[in-house]
Structure 1
């Protein structure tokens, strides 16, 4: 377990090396914002930075709510300049480069950083151009390689998809994979008294309808019915709803067209 009193690790920087498409820069910003990353760095983007007006509009539309993060992106002339302040660096690649570096999945790399990197140390992840990926000189700057376990029959990932997977694994490690919300308990568990009263009403109605037969099987039939409801772990609201439905069925059949009375459960 992560010590809640410990200082939080710094989220990784995302470095796009020579990105080619404005829309991918925008969707990268959106993917980062989804999972709490904010340090976007661009190395020599093909269309320049800031983008021409039409491309800027395209990128901001793709960012979809992460425009502030997009506009705060920092631009560098070289990969070396972009990573100069970082203490650990990963390079993403879909193929082995023969450089003898550790090869990690996003899950392993991000969990390692979250649990082992001191808060005052910075890490970053390099992503290459959309068409070619990182060149060997860029990969050589990294401490380790991140690769994605995908179906080899179709191993190509969109740039923003790759960023999303890394950002997700960071956030998952940061939050210990906790779900953002849980089931809402809308009613307390029903008391045994209420559950038994429901069973007795149900069994009485079924007896009147001729359900329990033959007579020698009545005990086991009653137990089987009770087991069905007991496995559901009934709440007070469940019991009220079930009993109300049964009353409506029984009383409605006896008096067609009846609208109900003050004794019926809500």
Structure 2
């Protein structure tokens, strides 16, 4: 087989959900699914009756280095075979067809999957064929359905996109990345002492040039300047630049 150079050194990250592709039609979609799985820390891939058999070279060509997921993938003849050793199975379903089952969002499903795996249970995520999705018999094997709350007038997703949404939500359930942070590179957020040193420099030069000559307005003007520089997270590098600006402006004008 071509295109199998080992790829990234991907290893299972604990007890993670098994991704089950039911009757996938295109090998390229299996490859892009493996790529999406790797993004979210999912490793285990099972294929139920892939149309063109398994393995297929074309899957490796679209996996972007997620080769080990494809190499570890296993194929089954039926859904029952693929889920036999699992404790819980969730099925993605764009249009529930007269089925009485819990319906979860991707986020809600990821939370429940994480809780189940934390108890040592083996869980699976089932995705249907590219054109029609899972049929009623497939969904009858699932404990709950997952439906993505997308634009109701256009909910079309390709297979890898559908897997990526669940992989992302799965990863977020234990991700500690702050929702917002300031990228400072080689500098750092200025300390109160550094900021106060700058304010003394600024006020001294403003007094010298006469900008703060109105004694009644001076306290309020100084407070406004202080508020301006404390409202955000000014960095030490930015303060050094501003020190240089003030120093340069305090010099006599050059021709």
Normalised by the length of structure 2, the TM-score is 0.84
Q: How far does residue 20 in structure 1 lie from its aligned partner after superposition?
A: 0.7
SS in structure 2 of the partner of residue 152 of structure 1: coil
1:102-251 to structure 2, matched below 5 A, reads 102-175=102-175, 178-179=177-178, 183=182, 186-187=187-188, 189-192=190-193, 194-212=194-212, 214-234=214-234, 236-251=236-251
Query: 1:151-201: CA deviations, max 9, x gaps?
Result: 1100111111111111111111133x5349965663364353x44442232
The answer on whether the counterparts of 1:20 and 1:47 sit within 8 Å (CA) in structure 2 is yes
SS in structure 1 of the partner of residue 223 of structure 2: helix
Please give the alpha-carbon distance, in whole angstroms, between the structure 2 residues aligned to 1:180 and 1:63.
29
Gaps of 5+ in 2: 1-12
Match of 1:4 in 2: none
Please give the alpha-carbon distance, in whole angstroms, between the structure 2 residues aligned to 1:65 and 1:87.
30
The answer on whether the counterparts of 1:10 and 1:119 sit within 8 Å (CA) in structure 2 is no
Please give the alpha-carbon distance, in whole angstroms, between the structure 2 residues aligned to 1:20 and 1:184.
44
Q: How far does residue 16 in structure 1 lie from its aligned partner after superposition?
A: 0.4
The answer on whether the counterparts of 2:116 and 2:123 sit within 8 Å (CA) in structure 1 is no
Query: 1:213-237: CA deviations, max 9, x gaps?
Result: 6553222212211221132355544
SS in structure 2 of the partner of residue 16 of structure 1: strand
Match of 1:39 in 2: 44
Relative distance call for 1:65 and 1:148 in structure 2 (3 A) is same
Normalised by the length of structure 1, the TM-score is 0.81
Match of 2:21 in 1: 16
The answer on whether the counterparts of 1:105 and 1:148 sit within 8 Å (CA) in structure 2 is yes
Q: After the TM superposition, which of the residue ranges 241-250 and 88-97 deviates more from structure 2?
A: 241-250
Relative distance call for 1:48 and 1:196 in structure 2 (3 A) is closer
Gaps of 5+ in 1: 1-7, 258-266
Larger CA Rg, structure 1 vs 2: 1
Relative distance call for 1:116 and 1:123 in structure 2 (3 A) is closer
Query: 1:106-147: CA deviations, max 9, x gaps?
Result: 211120121244543210011111001111111111111111
SS in structure 2 of the partner of residue 124 of structure 1: strand
* Equivalences, count: 241
Please give the alpha-carbon distance, in whole angstroms, between the structure 2 residues aligned to 1:107 and 1:17.
22
